Structure 1
Amino acid sequence: MDNLTFKRVSDCSLNELVDVWNRGFEGYSVDVTMTPEAFLKRMVSEDLSPSDSVVAFDEQKAVGIIMNGFREINGKTYAWNGGTGIDTDYRGKGVSQQLMDEVDHLYREKNVDVAVLEAISTNARAIKLYEKHHYELVERLTYFKGPEDQQDISVIHDYDLEIHRVPKEKIRILSFYQEDMPWQNQLESLKDGFFYILYDRDRPIGYATTKENYNSNGRLQAVQLFQVGIEPALEEDDLLLVTFLHRIFRLDLNEVKRLVVNFPNQQDHCLDAFHQLGFQKMIEQVHMKKTY
């Protein structure tokens, strides 16, 4: 299509944005439809920039959208494509190509060093599009769904373990904190998160970051895990990690929804622990990166 025009999200109405987003992800393998409230909440929680996110128009009709966020990581400017959605009637007509070109120009204007995004691993069309724009696969990410009922484990080890809930700043200064994680798993995306450090006596040997939901009576209803890390010298201690995760997921309780979000497949020791605790693979994504 040669007659597309582009606007920034900040120049569009909220109803217009929600409508093009929901049409853009119609038929997607995962339901990501949003209400206006959810759309605004996501922009805030994931640092998405309305002035730097782009909507494609065919005359007066919004037909595609790319949401963008920006962060400084290790002295470099990172850009995240937080969703590319194209109206079903406009797919296969070059809209996504032109949107990606527009966003690439925007990234260059903002002196972006690294651009990242994720895509469902079975979405061959999207992956081909991103590869055409010089994104490369860096790792695979998996969502795992856990058991909703309690799981008993035998805990036999030589550690004197304590888990403390801490401010997220204490996680960031750990020597084994993993900063280069998928965007939604980074501390900055967990504005309403829960942060824990695992201690052996007074020595920090692990950490976890979660989101947790409680009902009006204070009963835990859901736990989502975004990061878990163990001091490198102890990563091979399977029982230690399983014990830590058992406590973080509160697997001593029944009727709790448990989810692992976007977890890097390269962390084999963690994947083994998830399986031992009864977690099952749900969805796999590819994590892609472009260096400017």
Structure 2
Amino acid sequence: MEFKDLELVDLEELLLVFNTSFSDYVVPFHLSLEQLELKIALEKIDMNLSVGVFEFDKLQGFILQARKEENGKHIVYNAGTGINPEYRGKGLVRKMYDFILPVLKEKNADVLTLEVIERNDPAIRAYENLGFKITRKLLCFSGIIELKEKNTAVSIEEMDNFQWKVFQSFWDITPSWQNSNAILTDREKRYKILGAYKDQQLVGYAVYNPIARKVSQIAVDKNYRRQGIGTELFRIIEKLTGGQSVSVNNVDDTSENTAVFLEKGVGLKNWLSQFEMKKEI
């Protein structure tokens, strides 16, 4: 077997292994080539930092990785690990990490992070054996938006760019990797940035991906909560979805008010929970 980065990998070959690997996953799913390309673009996956295991020049397993700098630390995110079923039980995930860790250290990486489904006990144990530790629980919501009362005192306007300094002042929790500022930045044209205004003051916002029908971020000024502002943001998102299902992934479970709002106020269901895990290197 040979281990090497994925710089020259054929995406159709990667797609085949990806879909085979996740066909019997805890939550099975299947990507098209277009969806894989979108995942690589949106999550800023770096094929030079990603690693594959090959036998007879044929890809049998992979770890897709991306990198960002945040608060002075270089963080590397595992955006997906997959092994063809017949190659499992051979310690290939550990061997792929053993191969790529020196490369990451050369690039001054400080932290490895990933998400794993809460009930995927074998994967959790495997990552713990590699030195990862659970840092928080993340909730995933999806469903058809169902709203009630309308607040006519709030106006929603599309914004041209991210106003991170103001947005972050509304936060109670830090977004996960896929929804973080560093990942969304430079991808503004892929998103709808919605600002909520009351008396011409920005009091809330939402970042929505119309292609994936995902809400990446939503927050309301602490002084203006429980006034229907989040509801009005979702009212516009509802129009943008055309009545189709929408998702809000990786909500920190310590934000109980957000979870209650998404379930009781918006009508979404918490269909999946994940653990965020990290390893210092």
**Normalised-by-shorter TM-score class:** 0.7 to 0.9
Rounded to whole Å, the distance in 2 between the matches of 1:196 and 1:43 is: 25
Change (3 A) 1:175 1:252: closer
How much does 1:83 deviate? Answer: 0.4
1:286 to 267, 272, 275: 275
How much does 1:242 deviate? Answer: 4.6
Corresponding letter in the other structure for 1:224:
K
- Answering whether residue 148 of structure 2 is matched by residue 152 of structure 1, we say yes
Deviation track 1:133-185 (CA, whole Å, cap 9, x = no partner) reads 2222121112212335x5322649xxx42222113332455342659421211
How much does 1:7 deviate? Answer: 1.7
1:168 to 161, 165, 168: 161
Rounded to whole Å, the distance in 2 between the matches of 1:26 and 1:257 is: 23
- Answering whether residue 27 of structure 2 is matched by residue 30 of structure 1, we say yes
Change (3 A) 1:136 1:167: farther
Q: Is the 8 A contact 2:157 2:195 kept in 1?
A: yes
Matches within 5 A, 1:1-292: 4-147=1-144, 150-153=146-149, 155=151, 160-176=153-169, 180-190=174-184, 191=187, 192-213=190-211, 223-234=213-224, 237-250=225-238, 255-276=243-264, 277-292=266-281
Partner of 1:219: none
Partner secondary structure for residue 30 of structure 1: coil
TM-score scaled by length of structure 2? 0.86
Corresponding letter in the other structure for 1:208:
A
Q: Is the 8 A contact 1:26 1:88 kept in 2?
A: no
- Which ranges in structure 1 are unaligned for 5 or more consecutive residues? 214-221
Identify the range of structure 1 (75-84 vs 93-102) with the bigger mean alpha-carbon deviation: 93-102
How much does 1:125 deviate? Answer: 1.1
Change (3 A) 1:187 1:167: farther
Partner secondary structure for residue 174 of structure 1: helix
What RMSD in Å do the two structures reach over aligned CA positions? Answer: 2.6
How much does 1:19 deviate? Answer: 2.1
Rounded to whole Å, the distance in 2 between the matches of 1:151 and 1:233 is: 22
Partner secondary structure for residue 22 of structure 1: helix
Rounded to whole Å, the distance in 2 between the matches of 1:264 and 1:112 is: 25
How many residues are matched? 275
Rounded to whole Å, the distance in 2 between the matches of 1:223 and 1:84 is: 24
How much does 1:245 deviate? Answer: 4.4
How much does 1:251 deviate? Answer: 7.1
Rounded to whole Å, the distance in 2 between the matches of 1:251 and 1:266 is: 29
Rounded to whole Å, the distance in 1 between the matches of 2:63 and 2:222 is: 38
How much does 1:56 deviate? Answer: 0.7
Q: Is the 8 A contact 1:152 1:251 kept in 2?
A: no
Partner secondary structure for residue 50 of structure 1: coil
Partner secondary structure for residue 163 of structure 2: helix
Change (3 A) 1:23 1:82: same
Change (3 A) 1:172 1:85: farther
The sequence identity of aligned pairs, in percent, is 26
Deviation track 1:248-290 (CA, whole Å, cap 9, x = no partner) reads 4337997332221222212111111112232111111111122
Partner secondary structure for residue 282 of structure 1: strand
Rounded to whole Å, the distance in 2 between the matches of 1:195 and 1:102 is: 40
Rounded to whole Å, the distance in 1 between the matches of 2:14 and 2:240 is: 42
Deviation track 1:48-99 (CA, whole Å, cap 9, x = no partner) reads 0111110012343322100010112222211110101011011122112212
Deviation track 1:186-220 (CA, whole Å, cap 9, x = no partner) reads 2454431111222221322211111125xxxxxxx
Corresponding letter in the other structure for 1:210:
Y
Partner secondary structure for residue 288 of structure 1: strand
Partner secondary structure for residue 207 of structure 1: strand
Corresponding letter in the other structure for 1:8:
D
